[in-house]
Amino acid sequence: MSAPSEQPVSGGNADLLGRWDAVMMENYGRPPLALVRGEGCVVWDADGRAYLDLLGGIAVSVLGHAHPAVVAAVSEQVGRLAHTSNLYAHGPGLALAERLVGLLGEPAVGARVFFCNSGAEANEAALKLARRHARALDPSGARHEIVAFTGAFHGRTMGALSVTGQPGKQEPFTPLVPGVRHVPWGDEAQLRAAVGPATAAVIVEPTLGEAGVIGPPAGFLAAIRAACDDAGALLILDEVQSGIGRTGEWFAFQNADLAVRPDVLTLAKGLGAGLPIGAAIGFGDAATALRPGDHGSTFGGNPVSCAAALAVLDTLEGDDLLASVRAVGARLAGRIAGSEHPGIAELSGRGLWRGIRLHRPVAPQVVAAAREAGFLVNATGPDRMRLAPPLILTAEQADAFCDALPGLLDEAGAAGAA
């Protein structure tokens, strides 16, 4: 890492993490570091060490850290009006909703937006919207099922967890919300068998993010759309992780090979560049399914988060960052693949959103070795790593990681026998 170290915070990592252990719940375990500052794609810990951030707060910090446009927008707005509740309209929320609908293009004619605070909340809103829409079609309530996919991740609130296809995350909290069917990812025959007259909606990530950035088989998203159309069900497209430029397009479904028309689109993460905001956007009949009093969020779409999101969209567009995401993402993937390291079994993803499957279950060890070398990456499973850096990542920063990666894999024993 070329970024300079800084003076450590009093007490450093050990002190801060010890205090963390004393007062924080244990749901995250003990963090390996305490981060105290960031600038661009670099962060510093409490001991003054610098790291190249290749995780971006789990695909959140799309403009990196302390971006001047976000700092200015948030500072100005918080000094003007920080909160209104959902009882009143405000300019930043209106402008952001109009901007998002405009970016969605032709499929979004007549679309409407609901703002909340997170991806899980956006998916909760989408699920309620789907049930409400289904009840209008069939007042008996017989059309209520949600079809989801194994390996998917949609959040940890009870409704979002119920459609998440990861039993390890679900089991401690059963019984979950009833009426959910999980279909194996990519299995078109089982999809067709599951979607029928009782289906209110199918919820799907265009690429499984938390599972390791795993794309769909060719034609699978189109098959989901067709199954929904045949059954009269809504298609909920969860772009919480893939949206807002992550794949090199504004939204992943705008990539030609992932093209599919959603009825409901959910967003969060990168939309606020670190400020809490999520959105559920309804298209067509889904745009007007929720009626006054059906749903709400006290903090959702507050003026400060909306101002941050507008700064994100302005900067992505004004700095032509989508083109950079495509170019730097292709360079990153090309260099990783070109290393031909024997520990790498598969490279997946697109843009600045990449998954690396290893031949051996040593991803946590690679993550630890990378951290020691000054790179922050993520393990999504024993043999899977994820890269989701800020969208301002430079070619030189991508190269620095790629230069180091073979040695990190060797240090972790990734090339040994499986």
How would residue 337 be classed by pLDDT, with cut points 50, 70 and 90? very high
Look at residue 119 and tell me whether its pLDDT is greater than 90: yes
Identify residue 38 by its one-letter amino acid code: G
Identify residue 70 by its one-letter amino acid code: V
CA distance 20 to 14: 10
The CATH number assigned to the domain with range 72-318 reads: 3.40.640.10
Give phi and psi for 119, each to the nearest 5.
Answer: -65, -40
| pLDDT tens digits for range 392-408 | 999 999 999 999 999 99
| pLDDT tens digits for range 348-396 | 999 999 999 999 999 999 999 999 999 999 999 999 999 999 999 999 9
H helix runs in 277-374, sequence order = 303-318, 321-338, 363-373
Q: Following DSSP, what letter does each residue of 371-396 receive, concatenated?
A: HHHTEE-EEEETTEEEE---TT--HH
How far separated are the first and last CA of the chain, in Å rounded?
31
| pLDDT tens digits for range 321-333 | 999 999 999 999 9
Q: What is the mean pLDDT of the chain?
A: 95
CA distance 233 to 264: 11
pTM metric for this prediction: 0.95
What is the three-state SS of 114-161?
EEECCHHHHHHHHHHHHHHHHHHHCCCCCCCEEEEECCCCCCCCHHHH
What is the three-state SS of 56-68?
HHHHCCCCCECCH
Domain ranges within the chain, ordered by starting residue? 12-66+320-411, 72-318
| Residue 93 DSSP SS3 | helix
CA distance 21 to 172: 23
Average pLDDT over residues 101-124: 92
Q: Which residues are designated catalytic? A: 153, 238, 269
Question: Taking CA 345 as the corner, what is the angle to CA 367 and CA 151, rounded to the nearest 5 degrees?
Answer: 75
**Domain at 12-66+320-411, CATH homologous superfamily:** Aspartate Aminotransferase, domain 1 (3.90.1150.10)
CA distance 160 to 156: 6
Look at residue 1 and tell me whether its pLDDT is greater than 60: no
Look at residue 2 and tell me whether its pLDDT is greater than 60: no
| pLDDT tens digits for range 184-228 | 999 999 999 999 999 999 999 999 999 999 999 999 999 999 999
Q: How many CB atoms sit inside 10 A of residue 327's CB?
A: 14
- Are 92 and 73 spatial neighbours (Cβ–Cβ below 8 Å)? no
In this predicted structure, what is the pLDDT of residue 110?
A: 87
Average pLDDT over residues 48-75: 98
Residue 151: name the closest of 348, 329, 343 by CA: 348
What is the percent of the chain with per-residue pLDDT over 70, rounded to a whole number?
A: 99
